[in-house]
Amino acid sequence: MQLQKENILIVDDDVNILELLQRHLQSWNYHIYKAVSVKEAVTILRDTNIDLLITDLKMPEIDGLELIKFVSEHYPTLPKLVVTGYPSAQDSLTSIKSRVVAYLTKPFTKDELKVAINKSLLISKTKYQKKVKLLKKVNDTYGEIIGSSEKINDVVQIIERVKNNKATIFIKGESGTGKELVARAIHYQGKFARAPFVAVNCGGIPENLLESELFGYLKGSFTGAETNRDGFFQAANGGTIFLDEIGNASLAVQSRLLRVLQEKEVVKVGASKAESIDVRIIAATNSNLRDMIQKQTFREDLFYRLTVVEIHVPPLRERKEDIPLLVDKFLLKYGVEYKERFVKVTTEAMEILNRYDWPGNIRELENVIQRAVIMCENIIEIEHLPEHIKYTLDFSSEKLLSLKEIEKQYIQKVLRATGNNKTKAAEILKIDRKTIRQKLSE
């Protein structure tokens, strides 16, 4: 008995090429997904765990290079194999920069295709195994959730309780705290992990399109509806749909969502007949839905349907003991992404990272570490941190200090932030070097 191999997505506007590739790949027992356009490919990538992308470059509307760039940004570990009938030096260069691991020119033989696929998958597995080995250095992980603080442990305990049932879950928290990571952990750590997980940003889809995107539509139901199309709910059938920024949904969409929760069925736009659906709904927002209920912009009955189980994801300022673990995670991530550029953080720089309040939460911390990895040579020092973080002071301590002590601490912090550069420190403090020397001697 042959075991099913990896999932491979092939993208080409030439149906004959798609069929040829499909025959070859199926003869080697791969599981095949096909797309005739970049838009269709992106939909498949979002709904399916793909192990290898094979794509043409020259396609109408959006070309294959745009797909490659999209995959490099959103699925950095996914190997990419380019198959094209119109090779060019520029395309090759762009492909290499986007970490394409193999490049085939049409016409090609079956053996050439097999070699290219084996090479692509082997490189991917080697990188993955290396990454897994490195990730073992980062302790206290639950799926993609990293932390050992009491507040993050509370979140993990709730996930453990709900992961194996399909109760509706509401996740609340500030922007950048990792609400989608919590939703993914609920899905992928439980017994429904092999079913689809579909994430929908309700704030990222225009209001007039959200309804048809969620529930699907029939041909002719509105201008531009040229075919029947399933929505995100149908794509998530049997699994989990994550509705991020649910507060952005219109009252009309809210009404339809209420029906899904009450009747376990959806009605496509333009249809009269309902379709049964088996989907776990996880909703999230950084808005205050209770305030929206008072303003009559969010349905109270929907709110109570959504909040069967509530999970509060704490802001980073309330779990600062997790910052070193998160920093390790991002150093590893960008060390791998930027070709083995593994760097360290000085004690002084880490102290500043620990003291900052992170209004943008984990997303802001990741951006800061990514920038620092790019800017430094081998070690992240204070000078590689953004200005607004370097010069942030924390006066929230309950201990009351004299003005002289506060002045002393501030001068010391500015000197640390400037790498003990007294000239630069004097400019920031609006005093001269002589005054700094005098105060240091005091």
Which pLDDT tens digit goes with each residue over 393-420?
544 444 555 677 777 878 887 887 777 7
122 and 240 in a single domain? The answer is: no
Number of neighbouring beta carbons within 10 Å of residue 86: 10
Token couple for 213? 């995107």
pLDDT of residue 333: 83
- Which residue reads 């040829």 in tokens? 20
Q: Are residues 157 and 197 in the same domain?
A: yes
Length of the chain in terms of residues written = 442
Query: Would you say the C-alpha torsion 182, 325, 346, 331 has a positive or negative sign?
Result: negative
Residue 56: inside a domain, yes or no?
yes
In a domain, 2, yes or no: no
Tell me whether strands 275-276 and 265-266 are parallel, antiparallel or unpaired: antiparallel
Residue 406 and residue 382 in one domain: no
Coil, strand or helix at 82: strand
Q: What backbone phi and psi angles, to 5 degrees, belong to 436?
A: -60, -45
One domain for residues 48 and 125: yes
% of the chain residues with pLDDT over 70:
87
The total of other beta-carbon atoms located within 10 Å of residue 308's CB is 13
Q: Which residues of the chain have pLDDT under 70?
A: 1-5, 85-102, 123-141, 143, 339-341, 391-402
The token duo for 238 is 């049997």
- In sequence order, the 6+-apart residues with CB closer than 8 A to the CB of 186 are 159, 162, 163, 169, 240, 282
Same domain, 187 and 289: yes
Q: What angle is formed at CA 311 by the lines to CA 306 and CA 315, rounded to 5 degrees?
A: 130
Give the whole-angstrom CA distance, residue 319 versus residue 362: 11
Question: Does some domain include residue 140?
Answer: no
pLDDT, residue 157, reads 92
Q: Are residues 106 and 216 in the same domain?
A: no
- DSSP-assigned beta bridge partners for residue 354: none
Residue 33 structural domain = 7-135
Tokens standing for residue 127: 């990188």
Tokens of 44: 């498949």
Instruction: Sort residue 321 into left (φ over 0), alpha (ψ -120 to 50) or beta.
Output: alpha
Give the β-pairing of 280-285 and 275-276.
unpaired
| Measured torsion, CA atoms of residues 50, 184, 178, 206, in degrees rounded to the nearest 10 | 70
* Listed residue (95, 29, 106, 101) closest to 68, CA to CA: 95
Q: What is the pLDDT of residue 89?
A: 40
Among residues 314, 341, 360, the one where a domain terminates is 314
What are residue 35's DSSP bridge partners? 11
